[in-house]
């Protein structure tokens, strides 16, 4: 066989395998990317699609390296997936500009939107070249490919489970939010008596970091207003652990450990409260803040425009 074709085929396969694996660290970032480009799918279905896409990438990479079913199945599917990724990149570039990381290789290997478009163009050319040079073979043992895909999907779903949310906490009646009157919690220039959403977080809490990521994603999609972060910071962690040095969309304040838990309605983090005229009208914890259900509530309450 032509050594150039072998090199290009192995390079192409390894690229897909690496792309799939890197998207898993963390998978929440890829979940957010899918949601931003297809918000009509909703949060849960976007997470399902993210895992299926990663599994398909991984399987395509494996079979490209193995060199089976290339002409009739693998290369056409590869071009289809590259077309899908390129369409997402173009949409993202039009809506958000040339972001520093498109998410194509996860968070560990950032590519800007333009860099990734150029990369995809090169990979499409390589795939077309290999497709033209490939020989057509029968689809003998086709069930092996289906089985490998099914196993890959199963493993990814088991390793990165989609969260199941509890029912919303039901309040008998609104109750006073003590932090509104506390100097420790005031954010300069903001009126906490107007209707707003408050998010209590800990800098050392992984679930809190996921919540911040989800709120930032929601803001990019819907444009939120009157949302405030309050951070519990101890001596071992700082806000950089929570925000990962990224620009944050909402005002936040770091509150001392001596007063933080005195003013929150329940000792669970992350904790989210909808406050109107100084009273909680709804509260959620990270375990029951289902973004699919909450989005409609926040639209009704004018938190989401």
Same domain assignment for residues 132 and 190: no
Query: Contact 263/178 with Cβ under 8 angstroms?
Result: yes
Report if residue 170 sits inside a domain. no
Identify the pLDDT of residue 233. 77
Q: How many CB atoms lie within 10 A of CB 15?
A: 18
Q: How many domains does the chain have?
A: 2
Q: How far is CA 216 from the centre of its chain?
A: 10
The b-or-e profile of 286-300 (16+ CB within 10 A means b, else e) is beebbbeebbeebee
Q: Which of 102, 127, 159 is the last residue of a domain?
A: 159
Same domain assignment for residues 231 and 114: no
Q: What CATH number corresponds to the domain at position 251?
A: 3.40.30.10
In the numeric block, the tokens 């399987």 are attached to 59
Query: Contact 257/232 with Cβ under 8 angstroms?
Result: yes
pLDDT by residue, tens only, the chain of 305 residues: 588 899 999 999 999 999 999 999 889 889 998 998 888 889 999 999 999 999 999 999 999 998 888 888 999 999 999 999 999 899 989 988 898 888 889 888 889 999 999 999 999 999 999 999 888 776 677 778 888 889 999 999 999 999 889 998 999 999 999 999 998 899 988 999 999 999 999 988 889 999 999 999 999 999 999 999 999 977 566 787 788 767 789 999 999 888 898 899 888 999 999 999 999 999 999 999 999 999 999 999 999 98
Identify the pLDDT of residue 12. 96
Cα distances (angstroms) measured from residue 202 to each of 205, 273, 302: 5, 15, 26
Enumerate long-range contacts of 133-136, CB under 8 Å, 24 or more apart.
133/2, 133/5, 134/70, 134/71, 134/75, 135/71, 136/71, 136/72
Question: Residues 6 or more apart from 43 whose CB is under 8 A from it?
Answer: 35, 214, 290, 291, 292, 295
Identify the pLDDT of residue 245. 65
Distance in angstroms (rounded) separating the CA atoms of residues 249 and 208 = 16
Identify the pLDDT of residue 236. 66
Closest by CA to 243, choosing from 276, 208, 217, is: 208
Q: Which of 100, 125, 159 is the last residue of a domain?
A: 159
Same domain assignment for residues 287 and 225: yes
Instruction: Give me 29's structure tokens.
Output: 């970032």
Same domain assignment for residues 154 and 196: no
Identify the pLDDT of residue 63. 92
Same domain assignment for residues 119 and 200: no
Cα distances (angstroms) measured from residue 178 to each of 21, 248, 262: 46, 25, 9
Q: Is the bond leading into 26 cis (omega within 30 degrees of zero)?
A: yes
Same domain assignment for residues 188 and 241: yes
Q: Which of 131, 159, 187 is the last residue of a domain?
A: 159
Same domain assignment for residues 154 and 192: no
Same domain assignment for residues 131 and 24: yes
Query: Contact 200/285 with Cβ under 8 angstroms?
Result: no
Strands 279-285 and 196-202: unpaired
Same domain assignment for residues 148 and 214: no
Distance in angstroms (rounded) separating the CA atoms of residues 65 and 89 = 26
Identify the pLDDT of residue 80. 95
The domain of 134 spans 3-159
Report if residue 239 sits inside a domain. yes
Same domain assignment for residues 109 and 184: no
- Angle of the 113-133 helix axis to the 3-22 helix axis, nearest 10: 140
Identify the pLDDT of residue 150. 92
Evaluate if pTM is beyond 0.85: yes
Query: Kindly report the CA angle at 51 between 138 and 84, in degrees rounded to 5?
Result: 65
Same domain assignment for residues 14 and 135: yes
Same domain assignment for residues 147 and 239: no
Identify the pLDDT of residue 18. 95
Report if residue 236 sits inside a domain. yes
Report if residue 184 sits inside a domain. yes
């Amino acid at each position: 066989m032509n050594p150039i074709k072998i090199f290009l085929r192995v390079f192409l396969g390894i690229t897909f395998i690496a792309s799939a694996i890197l998207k898993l660290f963390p998978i929440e970032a890829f979940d957010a990317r899918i949601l931003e480009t297809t918000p009509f799918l909703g949060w849960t279905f976007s997470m399902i699609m993210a895992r299926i896409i990663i599994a398909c990438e991984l399987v395509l990479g494996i079979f490209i390296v193995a060199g089976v079913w290339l002409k009739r199945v693998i290369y056409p599917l590869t071009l289809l997936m590259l077309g899908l990724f390129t369409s997402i990149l173009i949409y993202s570039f039009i809506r958000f500009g040339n972001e520093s990381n498109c998410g194509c290789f996860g968070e560990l290997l950032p590519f800007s939107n333009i860099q990734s478009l150029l990369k995809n163009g090169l990979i499409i050319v390589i795939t077309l070249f290999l497709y033209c040079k490939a020989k057509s073979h029968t689809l003998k043992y086709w069930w092996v490919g289906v089985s490998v895909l099914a196993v890959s999907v199963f493993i990814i779903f088991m390793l990165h489970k989609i969260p199941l949310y509890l029912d919303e906490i039901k309040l008998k009646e609104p109750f006073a939010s003590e932090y509104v009157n506390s100097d420790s919690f005031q954010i300069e220039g903001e009126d906490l008596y107007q209707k707003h959403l408050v998010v209590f977080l800990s800098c050392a809490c992984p679930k809190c970091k996921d919540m911040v990521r989800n709120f930032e994603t929601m803001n990019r999609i819907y444009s939120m207003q009157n949302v405030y972060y309050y951070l519990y910071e101890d001596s071992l962690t700082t806000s950089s652990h929570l925000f990962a040095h990224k620009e944050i969309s909402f005002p936040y304040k770091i509150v001392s450990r001596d007063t933080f838990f005195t003013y929150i309605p329940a000792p669970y983090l992350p904790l989210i409260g909808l406050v109107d005229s100084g009273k909680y009208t709804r509260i959620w914890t990270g375990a029951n803040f289902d973004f699919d259900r909450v989005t409609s509530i926040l639209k009704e309450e004018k938190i989401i425009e």
